[in-house]
């Protein structure tokens, strides 16, 4: 069949379908106004009831097949707005059947559209809150930034609904748009720090720098667990059990060490010096025994010992082992240091400490006159020291 004939058939079918509501409207106009009003409003209420009941059944079936609860939050928020819209549209058509006076039909239509807009704005804002709650309860990786987008979503709904309602009532929004532009510039200049913190929080989320519960180290040296991430700032709980609030704009430009990523296990280093002449193999075995006996140390990765170098007064040795979480680093280091000291004492391994020896030589030919006794650094005097 040629394409032009197919298009012609489709056009004729659309025209026939368009004539159906026109014929129904003509038949309604032929009825008494009160009867047409009752019929249209009754049918709209009946249709809304069918949408309400049938929609509940359909939502239950759909949500069972789709994993997660976000889809249920979306459908259950949009569903009430649908059947309320049907009832309001039916009431508006009923009023149009009762009278065609512009002083009645105009305000009625504007009022109906206003109510519909408010209902949809309320339900969409409610949908945002429900989706936010579901994502936060599921503790997904996006839950830390969900409240930010929820606030942005609500603000957009309020702005769009406000301008739509004003245009319905023939209020010129052009001056408001111009005023909003000027007001936006003023607010942007006055709230530079707030906007910087807001966009800083967006950047931190996009980069995946940290999440609530992570243990981070700031560029200033402060360490703590992330308690909360808001639009303006991030709250840390330090090891002294104090809350530190840091603006997101500062964190966005600072160097942050996330000790909880990519995994929470962290390595502990215990450095110790042993005296020259010690059996390095015995030292290594003793340190490994200490790590094996400590229950905070993980078996995998296995602890190991490294001979780092020759110090001025000791052989530098380091014990490397892993712990389950960075928050345990201080406790693990404390217990390992105590255990290493006790194990070295029991094994007879000496931990040297720096010593200084000063030797003074008298001048040649003046050993007994005491002329240089007051100046220990006179010509000919030497100093030898063993530094750390």
Could you read off the pLDDT of 62-73 as tens digits, one per residue? Answer: 666 655 566 666
CATH number, domain at 279? 3.30.70.100
Cα separation, 176 vs 188, whole angstroms: 17
Whether residue 378 sits in one domain with residue 366: yes
Number of domains observed in the structure of the chain: 4
Whether residue 51 sits in one domain with residue 123: yes
Task: Tell me the percentage of the chain whose pLDDT exceeds 90.
Answer: 19
Residue 145 is given by DSSP the state T
Query: How far, in Å, are 21, 116, 237, 294, 299 from residue 88 at the CA level?
Result: 18, 7, 53, 72, 69
Residue 7 lies in a domain: no
Cα separation, 253 vs 220, whole angstroms: 13
Mean pLDDT of the chain: 77
Whether residue 108 sits in one domain with residue 169: yes
Residue 10 lies in a domain: no
Q: What is the pLDDT of residue 262?
A: 77
CA 67 to chain centre: 23
Rounded average pLDDT over 240-255 = 86
359: region left, alpha or beta (phi > 0 left; psi from -120 to 50 alpha)? beta
Q: What is the pLDDT of residue 290?
A: 94
| Domain end position, chosen among 213, 234, 258 | 258
234 has a pLDDT exceeding 50: yes
Specify whether the CB–CB gap between 246 and 234 falls below 8 A: yes
Whether residue 123 sits in one domain with residue 184: yes
**Cβ neighbours of residue 314 under 8 Å, at least 6 residues apart?**
273, 274, 275, 276, 351, 352
Whether residue 178 sits in one domain with residue 216: no
CATH number, domain at 218? 2.30.30.60
370: region left, alpha or beta (phi > 0 left; psi from -120 to 50 alpha)? left
Specify whether the CB–CB gap between 58 and 65 falls below 8 A: no
Cα separation, 287 vs 320, whole angstroms: 10
| Domain end position, chosen among 132, 155, 190 | 190
Q: Which of 149, 151, 140 is nearest to 70 (CA)?
A: 140
Whether residue 300 sits in one domain with residue 237: no
Whether residue 137 sits in one domain with residue 57: yes
Rounded average pLDDT over 365-386 = 47
CA 93 to chain centre: 48
Whether residue 178 sits in one domain with residue 122: yes
Residue 359 lies in a domain: yes
Q: Which of 234, 242, 77 is nearest to 153 (CA)?
A: 77
Could you read off the pLDDT of 192-228 as tens digits, one per residue? Answer: 676 677 777 777 777 778 888 888 888 888 888 888 8
Could you read off the pLDDT of 47-58 as tens digits, one per residue? Answer: 888 877 777 777
Whether residue 142 sits in one domain with residue 48: yes
87: region left, alpha or beta (phi > 0 left; psi from -120 to 50 alpha)? alpha
382 has a pLDDT exceeding 50: no
Q: Looking up tokens 């009831």, which residue turns up? A: 49
Specify whether the CB–CB gap between 100 and 108 falls below 8 A: no
Specify whether the CB–CB gap between 140 and 107 falls below 8 A: no
Neighbours of 235 (CB within 10 A): 16
- Write the DSSP assignment of 1-66 as a string of letters: --HHHHHHHHHHHHHHHHHHHHHHHHHHHHS-HHHHHHHHHHHHHHHHHHHHHHHHHHHHHHHHHS
Whether residue 118 sits in one domain with residue 42: yes
Residue 3 lies in a domain: no
Residue 369 lies in a domain: yes
185, two tokens:
């510039």
pTM confidence score: 0.48
Could you read off the pLDDT of 114-159 as tens digits, one per residue? Answer: 988 999 898 888 887 777 776 665 554 455 556 667 777 887 888 8
Whether residue 283 sits in one domain with residue 145: no
Residue 33 lies in a domain: yes
Q: What is the pLDDT of residue 317?
A: 95
Query: Binning pLDDT at 50, 70 and 90, where does residue 34 land?
Result: confident
Q: Looking up tokens 């004003």, which residue turns up? A: 166
Could you read off the pLDDT of 309-359 as tens digits, one per residue? Answer: 998 889 999 999 999 988 888 899 999 999 999 999 999 999 998 777 788
Cα separation, 68 vs 117, whole angstroms: 29
Residue 343 lies in a domain: yes
Residue 345 lies in a domain: yes
Give kind and range of the element (H or E) at residue 93: helix 70-98
Whether residue 244 sits in one domain with residue 119: no
Residue 362 is given by DSSP the state P
Rounded average pLDDT over 148-175 = 79
Instruction: Give the residue numbers spanning the domain of 98.
Output: 15-190
């Amino acid at each position: 069949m040629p394409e032009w004939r197919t298009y012609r058939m489709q056009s004729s079918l659309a025209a026939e379908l368009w004539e159906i509501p026109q014929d129904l409207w003509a038949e309604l106009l032929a009825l008494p106004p009160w009867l047409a009003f009752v019929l249209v409003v009754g049918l709209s209420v009946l249709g809304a009831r069918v949408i309400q009941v049938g929609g509940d059944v359909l939502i239950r079936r759909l949500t069972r097949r789709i994993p997660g609860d976000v889809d249920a939050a979306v459908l259950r928020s949009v569903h009430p707005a649908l059947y309320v819209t049907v009832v309001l549209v039916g009431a508006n058509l009923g009023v149009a059947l009762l009278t065609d006076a512009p002083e009645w039909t105009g305000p009625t239509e504007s009022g109906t559209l206003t109510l519909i807009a408010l209902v949809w704005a309320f339900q969409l804002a409610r949908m945002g809150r429900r989706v936010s709650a579901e994502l936060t309860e599921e503790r997904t990786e996006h839950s830390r930034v969900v409240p930010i987008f929820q606030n942005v979503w609500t603000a957009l709904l309020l702005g769009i609904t406000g301008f739509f309602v004003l245009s319905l009532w023939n209020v010129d929004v052009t001056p408001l748009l111009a005023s909003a532009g000027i007001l936006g510039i003023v607010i942007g200049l006055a709230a530079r720090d707030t906007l910087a913190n807001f966009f800083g929080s967006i950047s931190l989320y996009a980069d995946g720098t940290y999440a609530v519960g992570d243990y981070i180290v700031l560029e200033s040296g402060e360490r703590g667990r992330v308690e909360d991430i808001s639009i303006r700032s991030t709250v840390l709980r330090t090891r002294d059990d104090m809350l530190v609030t840091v603006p997101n704009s500062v964190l966005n430009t600072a160097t942050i060490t996330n000790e909880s990523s990519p995994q929470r296990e962290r390595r502990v280093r215990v450095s110790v010096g042993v005296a020259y002449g010690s059996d390095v193999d015995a030292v290594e075995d003793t340190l490994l025994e200490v790590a094996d006996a400590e229950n905070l140390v993980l078996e995998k990765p296995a602890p190991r010992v490294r001979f780092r170098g020759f110090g001025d007064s000791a052989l530098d040795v380091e014990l490397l082992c892993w712990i389950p979480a960075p928050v345990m680093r201080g406790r693990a280091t404390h217990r390992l240091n105590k255990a290493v000291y006790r194990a070295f004492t029991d094994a007879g391994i000496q931990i040297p400490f720096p010593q200084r020896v000063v030797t003074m030589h008298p001048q040649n030919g003046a050993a007994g006159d005491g002329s240089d006794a007051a100046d220990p650094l006179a010509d000919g005097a030497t100093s030898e020291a063993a530094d750390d």
